[in-house]
Amino acid sequence: MRYIFYLLVISVSVIGCKSDKKTEDSKELTVYTHRHYESDQELFKRFEEETDIKLNIVNASADELIQKMSLEGEQSPADVLITVDAGRLYRAKSQDLLQSFSSPLIDSIVPNHLRDEDGHWVSLTKRARVIAYAKDRVDSTELSTYENLTSEEWKDKILVRSSSNIYNQSLLASIIANEGNEFAENWAQGVVDNMARSPKGNDRDQVKAVANGEGDLAIVNTYYIGKLLNSEDENELEAGESVGIFFPNQETTGTHINVSGIGVAKYSPNKASAVEFVEFLLKEDAQNIFAGSNYEYPINPNVEPSEILKEWGEFKEDKLSLNELGKNNKEAVIIFDKVGWK
Amino acid sequence: MNIKHRFFKFKRDLNRWSLLLLIILAAVAIPILTIGLKLFDGPGDSWGHIVDYVLFDYLQNSLLLAIFCSIIVIVFGVSTAWLVSRFHFPFRKQLEWLLILPLSVPAYIMAYAYAGVFGYSGLFSNIVDAVGLDGFRIDFMNIYGLSFVLSISLFPYVYVSSRTFFLAQATNLLEASRMLGISEFKSFFKLIFPLARPAIIAGLVLVLMEVLNDYGAASYYGVSTFTTGIFRSWFSLGEPETAIYLSAILLIIVFGLILFEKWQRRHMNFTSAKTSKQNYSSKLRPKKGHQILFSLICFVPVCLGFILPVIQLLIWAKQTFAKVWNVEFITITLESFGIAFITALITVLVALLLLFFTKWNKIELLKSSSKLGVLGYAIPGIIIAIGVLVPSLYIDKWLIEKNITSKLILNATLIALVYAYVVRFLAVAYQPLESSSLKIDRSLSDSSKVLGEGNFKTFFKIEFPLIRTGLLSAFILVFIDILKELPLTLIMKPYDVNTLAVKAFEYASDEMVSSAALPSLLIILTALVPAIFLNKLLLKNASNS
């Protein structure tokens, strides 16, 4: 009992010390973020050192954070909201939780299709949703577009995760925006008919399944293949190396991309610092860290992607405004339910 | 009965315990009622769509899951509890506390670990290939695998509650049945199993609540359940109203289950005539062969629920240690321990008050509504968070309006977090307490009162010593649960406090499962401390009482 008591005293004092050291007058910035990568923690630390602004980080899923912001209302301590997809930023904006902001620096870095039309949010990094194919069984010339995935030749060959995943929703939302509802529903039905198995696992698991012959093609995010190719686990490494990366729709609309982005909260108590923070994240130093350690494509045109991404080559991206993804997200989910894409 | 009559009855029955009970009940029920009030906003636009396309699937899968899990946890939980409390066999003492440990592995981590074990080039395929059965694979990621994973990590609830019962039950009944020449095996099924029913069901209710609100494991295994549906309506369709509607249905089902259980034991009296003194020392010594068999039976769930996943986690932790480890983990571990310890104490205390105030209060309506307090466990943590955030923000805003404070003082503090934990985990503390207090022979406390002692004195002198084992079990269970808790912690925790579960989740949600292994192992280690220690107390208790 005594030891437990000691442990308890120590742990309580640790918590006590932490909550005590609130410095009164120094500047603070409260960041609600869905991103929880090591690269981000590194960036946050640097920002604190460079600016003397203390960051309060609240890390949860974007939906929870949006819900929290809307409950908090005018008193919300949140200054910025960071998400890993455009749809959630669109949702925060449509719930009137964000405000417009701009600066010449931001305008010069972020192209139009990668930001909100009213200036409520901008993108920080990009990921592409590509087709990973089994190098030994599939000739990349057989591949062309997302639409082609519904053709008879891929019967029982396609691996893809659950439709609860936002990247799948965004992909379908882009198809709805580009081709219309009916086309999108037929497409989703076609993919379901061609699935090698009922959707399960995450993106990494889809690639592993291809590597082990459960199917030939996996619809996955570039980001996770980067992670696989840098895994400590030999089997994961092998799986990553056994697949080739194909960027679909190069002759048509371009490969679907999704972004991680940032918006400034409507009731942000420190808007000036918030904008400073956004600028910091878009500048070359920060973008280099994003690109280098996290296998994401940088937004800043002066920054090169990491070596692995460069090896896959350049590609034409879908220039569809990201707002469209948010607008069509719900319709996409409804279609998924209808066609039985779990 | 007319109104006047009712009123007099009410006035007669009203005592201070009723008022105190009402206060406690209000405190824990506010978040739940807040959610209830939200129902009046109606469901979101997509409700019709959900009913048309997916609701049936959700219901069916959740129901199947509940049935499969009930069977597995009863088989594992009751058999092991019976063996360790009734017989001597090798390693019994170690197995006794090892059997609690599967609880310390968060269900979603267990799901990842098993997917790893049965995955391509995982442990299983290596072993199978090594013995020459090349290519034999088991597809684990489906509803059967999910049932297994959830059951193996949750069966200790049933184990703990039934063992608490077995340790305290009267052996004289068994002695009698033995003298009548009835075999041990037969008297277990004819006598002990029916007597232990409230205890088993108390554990089972906890298991089912947790099974019904699991999200992480179900979504990874691709099984659409009620809770994945709740998350989908909220996160994918962007309709919190619909999510709350779905969880209300879930709640009604769970409340129905609880009431049904209460109703069906309404005329039964589970108190044992005399609490035997020598029950602990009178463990049976079966034949050597049987003893080894019993060790094996108890070892199987320990192996499947603890050793195997821990081995998988160790393999992963070894791969990622260099990358993941930093000194911060020591403070995070201490913080997790402190929060879990204090909150578990408070939760057990609240549960105790709830239980005894209910008992001392005489108003029937209040008695039956005390069950409302334990519903929090069946609600997904994230929805509890809304239930707590709404009233606490309301108070905060009121304080700001009255110029008492200038900013939110409850929001993102330990107070709000602990409050939310209590609401969520009250059931975990309440069930073992209730089942152990059911065994107290009412004549004991009645005679104390006849002799002129008050409720309080009776409680400390008579009842408290008798439910001590229940208290300890309740504490361990809540402690471990809080260590693992995630969605609530994420959204309610103060900015600079971190927990191990949050760390594990950060890696896992980024598909870096192997990096999540280290914080998961730390959760398990932290959970070990009170589990082993309190088990010792439990035994000491049982031998003294």
The tokens for A24 are 């009164």
ipTM for this prediction: 0.82
Q: How many CA atoms lie within 13 A of B364 on its CB side?
A: 4
pLDDT at B526: 87
Cα angle at B130 between B128 and B135, to 5 degrees?
A: 45
B393 contacts in A (CB within 8 Å)?
71-73, 75
CATH T-level topology, domain A27-126+258-304: D-Maltodextrin-Binding Protein; domain 2 (3.40.190)
Report the residue of chain A nearest B45, measured CA to CA.
A330
pLDDT at B171: 63
For B:504-543, CB contacts with A below 8 A are 506, 509-512, 514, 529-530, 533
Are the Cβ atoms of A72 and B411 closer than 8 angstroms?
yes
**Does the beta carbon of B314 lie under 8 angstroms from any beta carbon of chain A?**
no
B403 contacts in A (CB within 8 Å)?
none
| CB B180 within 8 Å of CB B252 | no
A337 contacts in B (CB within 8 Å)?
49-50, 53-54
Q: Which amino acid is at A339?
A: V
**Does the beta carbon of B325 lie under 8 angstroms from any beta carbon of chain A?**
no
Query: A316: how many CB neighbours lie within 10 A of its CB?
Result: 13
The DSSP output letter for A316 is: P
Q: How many CA atoms lie within 13 A of B494 on its CB side?
A: 18
pLDDT in tens, B501-515: 888 877 877 778 888
Determine the Cα–Cα distance for residues A81 and A90; give it in Å rounded to an integer. Answer: 12
Alpha helices in B439-512 (DSSP H): 442-450, 455-458, 464-484, 487-492, 500-509
Are the Cβ atoms of B511 and A203 closer than 8 angstroms?
yes
The DSSP output letter for A26 is: S
Q: Cα distance from B377 to chain A (closest Cα, Å)?
A: 19
B231 contacts in A (CB within 8 Å)?
164
More confident position, B539 or B133: B133
pLDDT over 50 (residue B274): no
Q: What is the mean pLDDT of the segment spanning B442-448? A: 71
**A27-126+258-304 and A127-256+317-339: same fold?**
yes
pLDDT over 70 (residue B541): no
Report the residue of chain B nearest A232, measured CA to CA.
B319
Average pLDDT across chain B, whole number: 81
Query: B446: how many CB neighbours lie within 10 A of its CB?
Result: 12
- Please, which pLDDT band fits residue B235 given cuts at 50, 70 and 90? confident
Phi/psi for A252 (5° steps) reads -115, -115
Q: Cα distance from A313 to chain B (closest Cα, Å)?
A: 25
Between A166-179 and A86-94, two packed helices, what is the crossing angle to 10 degrees? 80
Helix (H) or strand (E) holding A260: strand A257-265
Are the Cβ atoms of B412 and A329 closer than 8 angstroms?
no
The DSSP output letter for A246 is: E
The tokens for A239 are 């799986």
pLDDT at B277: 46
- Please, which pLDDT band fits residue B114 given cuts at 50, 70 and 90? very high
Mutate which of B55, B235, B404, B525 to test chain A, going by most A C-beta atoms within 10 A? Answer: B235
Instruction: Reply yes or no on domain B12-544 having CATH 1.10.20.10.
Output: no
The residues, ordered by sequence, that sit 6+ positions from B328 with a Cβ below 8 Å of its Cβ are: B498
> Chain A to chain B, count of Cβ pairs less than 8 Å apart?
158
Query: Where are the domains positioned within chain A?
Result: 27-126+258-304, 127-256+317-339
The tokens for B132 are 């020459």
Name which of A14, A64, A200 is nearest B335 (Cβ-Cβ). Answer: A14
Q: How many CA atoms lie within 13 A of B354 on its CB side?
A: 28
More confident position, B132 or A213: A213
The DSSP output letter for B440 is: S
pLDDT over 70 (residue B376): yes
Mutate which of B495, B500, B512, B528 to test chain A, going by most A C-beta atoms within 10 A? Answer: B495
pLDDT in tens, B298-348: 999 999 999 999 999 999 999 888 887 877 788 888 888 888 998 999 999
Instruction: Reply yes or no on domain A127-256+317-339 having CATH 3.40.190.10.
Output: yes
| CB A97 within 8 Å of CB A66 | yes
- Please, which pLDDT band fits residue B21 given cuts at 50, 70 and 90? confident
B219 contacts in A (CB within 8 Å)?
162, 164
| CB B205 within 8 Å of CB B257 | yes
Determine the Cα–Cα distance for residues B188 and A148; give it in Å rounded to an integer. Answer: 63
A45 contacts in B (CB within 8 Å)?
none
Pairing mode of beta strands A54-59, A98-99? unpaired
A163 contacts in B (CB within 8 Å)?
236
- As a whole-number percent, the residues of chain A with pLDDT over 70 amount to 95
Determine the Cα–Cα distance for residues A66 and A98; give it in Å rounded to an integer. Answer: 10
pLDDT at B8: 72
- Please, which pLDDT band fits residue B28 given cuts at 50, 70 and 90? confident
Query: Where are the domains positioned within chain B?
Result: 12-544
Name which of A71, A73, A200 is nearest B222 (Cβ-Cβ). Answer: A200
Question: Of B225, B205, B200, which Cα lies nearest the Cα of B215?
Answer: B225
pLDDT at B268: 62
Determine the Cα–Cα distance for residues A123 and A265; give it in Å rounded to an integer. Answer: 15
Report the residue of chain B nearest A224, measured CA to CA.
B511
What is the SS3 assignment for A28?
strand
pLDDT in tens, A177-208: 999 999 999 999 999 999 999 998 889 889 99
pLDDT at B273: 45
For B:206-225, CB contacts with A below 8 A are 219-222, 224
pLDDT at B270: 56
Determine the Cα–Cα distance for residues A198 and A161; give it in Å rounded to an integer. Answer: 8
Name which of A12, A58, A342 is nearest B495 (Cβ-Cβ). Answer: A58
Buried b (16+ CB within 10 A) or exposed e, B344-355: bebbbebbbebb
- Please, which pLDDT band fits residue B271 given cuts at 50, 70 and 90? low
Counting Cβ atoms within 10 Å, is residue A45 exposed (0-12), middle (13-18) or buried (19+)? exposed
Report the residue of chain A nearest B401, measured CA to CA.
A75
pLDDT over 80 (residue B537): no
pLDDT in tens, B201-230: 888 988 988 898 888 889 889 899 988 888
Are the Cβ atoms of B490 and A60 closer than 8 angstroms?
yes
Pairing mode of beta strands A217-221, A158-159? parallel
